[in-house]
């Protein structure tokens, strides 16, 4: 730790604190995540171990880089590359207006990072604006892999208590424990809409029931015809019957191609949602540029 000097606290979460720091050996600005270890018998928290192990595997321009891990007395320091802000702060600073070229660039970069994760059999499971970092050059970095999981064949049964509520897919909200990369695509679609709407969250539910109600009001209440098997998930639950809204009312600032891509990402039936790779091939991204234009 002698190599690093904390400059300022930049964030605090359930499991620890993040500082902006400088590496005196190299002069580089870094981010230090200080993880609390409350009980010596418990050892390093599982979420921290998971994040460290996965980020050692993942090397991609749109995924935050892990530099070092320092294990001291009752604390763990994880050293990451430093980014100026997260996407939530970026959107707040834009005060309701984000240029369409930035929406296109940020969404493309997020999907690039996600496609890389999925190709390495990793689900992120918590895609939110707070977990997406933005550099001063307008580069997007996917971060916070504490809830991420490896997946493979046979498909494992996962926890339904994942993904921040506003970005959680309807299948997971309904209690599905067999899910795949489609849950990350739904979250990304929510962020795509949020960016295009100037930083306004698309589905700000108060609890699980309210979240599902908002989703069904926009995308329609599902049935067996559009989502085979949904009746089992909705068993013993009574939801009003809503017809889907016009996408033009949901994302009015997106062009026709953007609206089409948004619809492909926000299909209620998870088996019919597009993949990250398919989304990247969409005509909406023709001529996209990375970073700020």
User: CATH number for the domain including 211?
Assistant: 1.10.510.10
> Is 207 in the active site?
no
**Shared-domain flag, residues 269 and 151:** yes
Q: CA nearest 197: which of 129, 251, 265?
A: 251
**Shared-domain flag, residues 96 and 70:** no
**Shared-domain flag, residues 44 and 110:** no
The tens-digit pLDDT sequence of the chain (293 residues) is: 678 999 999 887 666 789 999 999 999 999 999 887 766 556 777 788 888 988 988 999 999 999 999 887 778 899 999 999 999 999 999 988 999 999 999 999 999 999 999 999 999 989 999 999 999 999 999 998 888 887 764 445 555 555 689 999 999 999 887 788 999 999 999 999 999 999 999 999 999 999 999 999 999 999 999 999 999 888 878 888 999 999 999 999 999 999 999 999 999 999 999 999 999 999 999 988 666 54
- For residue 15, the enclosing domain spans 4-81
74 burial level (CB within 10 Å; 0-12, 13-18, 19+) = exposed
Locate tokens 């979250």: which residue?
A: 187
Number of domains in the chain: 2
**151 with 108: CB under 8 angstroms?**
no
Q: CA nearest 173: which of 103, 112, 239?
A: 239
Q: Is 33 annotated as a binding residue?
A: yes
Report the predicted TM-score, pTM, of the whole model to 2 decimal places. Answer: 0.90
Per-residue pLDDT, 141? 97
**Shared-domain flag, residues 91 and 66:** no
**Quick count: other Cβ atoms within 10 Å of Cβ 72?**
10
- Quote the tokens at residue 167: 């970005």
**Shared-domain flag, residues 187 and 147:** yes
Residue 246, in any domain of the structure: yes
**Shared-domain flag, residues 75 and 90:** no
Domain boundary among 34, 51, 81: 81
User: CATH number, domain at 75?
Assistant: 3.30.200.20
Lateral strand order in the sheet of 4-12 = 4-12, 16-23, 29-36, 75-81, 66-72
Per-residue pLDDT, 153? 47
**Shared-domain flag, residues 187 and 158:** yes
**Is the backbone peptide bond immediately before 277 cis, with ω within 30 degrees of 0?**
no
CA-to-CA dists, residue 280 to 6, 24, 56, 194, 226, angstroms = 39, 40, 25, 19, 25
Question: Which residues 6+ apart lie within 8 Å of 114 measured at CB?
Answer: 124, 127, 142, 181, 184, 185, 188, 276
**1 with 22: CB under 8 angstroms?**
no
- Which residue out of 84, 86, 99, 126 is catalytically annotated? 126
**Quick count: other Cβ atoms within 10 Å of Cβ 248?**
10
Residue 293, in any domain of the structure: no
Per-residue pLDDT, 261? 98
Phi/psi at 273 (nearest 5 deg)?
A: -70, 150
The Cα–Cα gap between 197 and 241 comes to 26
**21 with 32: CB under 8 angstroms?**
yes
The separation between CA 256 and the C-alpha centre of its own chain, rounded to angstroms, equals 24
Residue 279, in any domain of the structure: yes
The Cα–Cα gap between 287 and 62 comes to 19
Per-residue pLDDT, 37? 77
């Amino acid at each position: 730790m002698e190599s690093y000097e904390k400059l300022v606290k930049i964030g605090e979460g359930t499991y620890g604190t993040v500082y902006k720091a400088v590496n005196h050996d190299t002069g580089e600005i870094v981010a230090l995540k200080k993880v609390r270890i409350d009980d010596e018998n418990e050892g390093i928290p599982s979420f921290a171990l998971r994040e460290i192990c996965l980020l050692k595997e993942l090397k991609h321009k749109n995924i935050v880089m892990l530099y070092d891990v320092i294990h001291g007395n009752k604390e763990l320091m994880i050293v990451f590359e430093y980014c100026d802000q997260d996407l939530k702060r970026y959107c707040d600073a834009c005060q309701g207006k984000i240029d369409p070229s930035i929406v296109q660039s940020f969404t493309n970069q997020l999907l690039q990072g996600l496609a890389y994760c999925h190709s390495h059999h990793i689900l992120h499971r918590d895609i939110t604006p707070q977990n997406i970092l933005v550099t001063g050059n307008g580069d997007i970095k996917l971060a916070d892999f504490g809830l991420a999981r490896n997946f493979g064949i046979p498909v494992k049964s996962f926890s339904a208590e994942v993904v921040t509520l506003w970005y959680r897919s309807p299948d997971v909200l309904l209690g599905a424990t067999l899910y795949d990369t489609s849950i990350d695509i739904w979250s990304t679609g929510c962020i795509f809409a949020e960016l295009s709407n100037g930083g306004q969250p698309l589905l700000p539910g108060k609890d699980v029931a309210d979240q599902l109600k908002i989703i069904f009001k926009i995308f329609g209440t599902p049935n067996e015809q559009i989502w085979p098997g949904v009746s089992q998930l909705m068993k013993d639950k009574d939801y009003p019957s809503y017809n889907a809204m016009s996408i033009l009312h949901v994302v009015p600032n997106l062009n026709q191609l953007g609206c089409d891509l948004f619809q492909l990402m926000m299909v209620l039936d998870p088996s019919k949602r597009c993949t990250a790779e398919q989304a990247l091939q969409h005509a909406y991204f023709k001529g996209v540029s990375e970073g700020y234009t």
